[in-house]
Amino acid sequence: MTHRSPDAAPWWRSAVVYQIYPRSFQDTTGDGVGDLAGIARRLDHVVALGVDAIWISPIYPSPMKDFGYDVADYCAVDPLFGTLADFDALVAAAHARGLAVLLDFVPSHTSDEHPWFRESRSSRENARRDWYVWADPAPGGGPPNNWLSEFGGPAWSLDEATGQYWLHIYLREQPALNWRNPDVQAAMLDVMRFWFDRGVDGFRVDAVEHLVPSAALTDNPPDPAWRPGMQEARALHRAYTAHQPEVFDAARAMRRVAGEYAPERLLIGEAYGTLPEVMAYYGGEGLDGFQLPFNFQLIFAEWRAESIASMVEGYEAALPAGAWPNWVMGNHDRPRIAGRIGPAQARVAAMLLMTLRGTPTIYQGEELGMVDVPIPPEMAHDPMEKNAPGQGFGRDPVRTPIPWEDGPKAGFTTDEPWLPIGGAPPVSAQAADPGSMLALYRRLTALRRAEPALSLGSYRTLACADDVLVFERRHGERRLVVALNFADAERPLAHEGPVLLSTHAGDRVAGRLAPNEGRVMEG
C-alpha cells in the first residue's frame, strides 16, 4: 500500500473503510463458505467501489460457536478460510491496489478450546490459571454475582473439577481473559505485532468495553429502561462490566504498539456506550487511545431530519480537540439500513454517510442496497437466535452472502451456500445500471475522493426544517452544500448552486427537492 507523506493528514482521515464478512463474500473451494482467496478474487469490486481500506472479520482458527469471535489460535488462519500463505497473498494483492488491510482483533476473550484456557482450567495451581477470570461461588452457592451474558443467562459457568466459576461476557465457550495479568497483556500485544509484521495496516478491536470488568465483582444494578421483549442482558445496567478505567489503559497500550510501526497503524474500537463513554476511547489530551472509536449513532438514530441534525451536532461538539469523527450505518450484528428505512431513504442514507465529516465505514452489501434475508428456523446458525428463538435477535439475516450474478448460487459458490442468498439485485446487474444503488455509491466515493471539502473539510449545519437537512462542507475556499430530503414528498430548497451529484436521475426543478432526494451542490 502507498502511504501518504508524514506531513500529510493520516491516510485514514480521508479514507472509506469497507467491512468484509469473509464467510459471505466469495467461496472459491466449493464448500458454500467464503474464504481468503475469494476476497482476493473480488478485490476489483472493492477497488471499483472506490474505498481505501478493507476490514476483515475474524479468520482465526475457531470452533465457530460465535463464527470466529471465539478464537482458538490468534496467530494462524482457520482452514475454512485458507492458510497464512493465502493471507499474505491477499495483503500483497490489496496493497498493490492501494488498499489498506485491517483485521478484527478479539482481545477480551478466547475460545474454551484455546490451549491457554485448557491449561487454565486444568487446576487452580496451573501457571495460566490467572490468565482468565475465575471466582468462587457466592456465599450461598451459585454464580459469584448477577452479571449477565450478552447471549442470555448468567455470565458465569461452573467448572465442577476445580469448584470455581469462569467469566464469559458472551457465550460460555468464550471465557474472559484477565487483562489485569501482565502476562496476558504482553501475549495479546504480541499478537498485534505478529499481524503488523505480516503487513496489516490496523485492527478493529472487538468488544473492547468489556475488556477489564470490575475486580470487585460488584452486582450490576437494574436498568430502568429495560422492558419485556428486550434482550435479557439489557435488564441490568453494565456499571461494573463495561467501560471500567482499566479498559482505557489497555487501549493506550494497544496504541503504543501501533506506534511502534511507521507509519503508525490504525486502531478502530468497538465500544457501545454513551457519548462520553465512547469519547473516552480517544484517550487523554494527547489522543493516545484509539484513533477511531466507532460511532454507532446512525445505526440507532430515529430517521428524521431533526433527529439526525441534533445527533450530528451533539457528536461534533463532544469530540475532544483534534479528534477525528467516524460514521457507520450497519455491521454484521445490526439490521441492514435499507430494511430499516426503506430503499428510497437508503439512497439518502448513502449520501449522508459519504458527506458527513469523518471516516465512513460501509458494511458489505450496503453498496447494493441489501436488506435482511429471512432465515428459516432450520437454517439458523447464530447463537443469538438459537438461545432466544423467534424473538428477532438473530444476526443471520444480515450476514447472508453477496449476490454477484444471476442464478441460484449467485456466483458466490458452486455448492449450497451456508446461508440463503438474496436481499438485492446482483452486482453484475447493478454495475450495468447507472441508476442502481451500486452506481450511486461509486459516484459518491468518487466525488468524495475528488473533493477535499468532503473528505477533510469542516462541517456546519445550515438549516433543518420540514424534513430537510442542509449542511455545509468547506475546505479552504471550496464550499459545498449537501441537502437531504427525509420526506416522501417534494420539499422547497433555498440553495440553488450547481448540482455535483443527486440521488435521483433526470431533470431537477430549481428550488425544489424531489421526494427522498439528496443533492451535493457547489456553494
206, 367, 451, 517: the catalytic one is 206
Phi, psi for 502 (deg, rounded to 5)? -130, 150
DSSP 76: S
| Alpha-carbon distances of 369 from 113, 192, 424, 464, 511, rounded to whole Å | 38, 34, 6, 26, 28
CA torsion angle for 280, 286, 287, 289 (degrees, to 10)?
A: -80
Which of 44, 136, 219, 260 is catalytic? The answer is 260
Backbone angles phi, psi at 188, to 5 degrees: -70, -35
**SS3 sequence, 464-487?**
EECCEEEEEEEECCEEEEEEEECC
Q: Say how far apart CA 360 and CA 296 lie, in whole Å.
A: 11
Indicate the DSSP class of residue 218.
P
Of 463, 522, 475, the closest CA to residue 357 belongs to 475
Smallest Cα–Cα separation from 353: which of 253, 440, 425? 440
Q: Burial, 321: exposed, middle or buried (Cβ in 10 Å; 0-12, 13-18, 19+)?
A: exposed
Q: Write out the three cell numbers for 315.
A: 457528536
264 is catalytic: no
| Residue 206 among the catalytic residues | yes
Q: Are 152 and 231 in contact (CB under 8 A)?
A: yes
Strand 468-475 vs strand 164-167: parallel, antiparallel, or unpaired? Answer: unpaired
**Distance of alpha carbon 279 from alpha carbon 265, whole angstroms:** 20
How many angstroms separate the CA atoms of 133 and 106, rounded?
16
Of 37, 471, 55, nearest to 292 (Cα)?
Answer: 55
SS3 category, 462: strand
Q: Which residues are catalytically annotated?
A: 206, 260
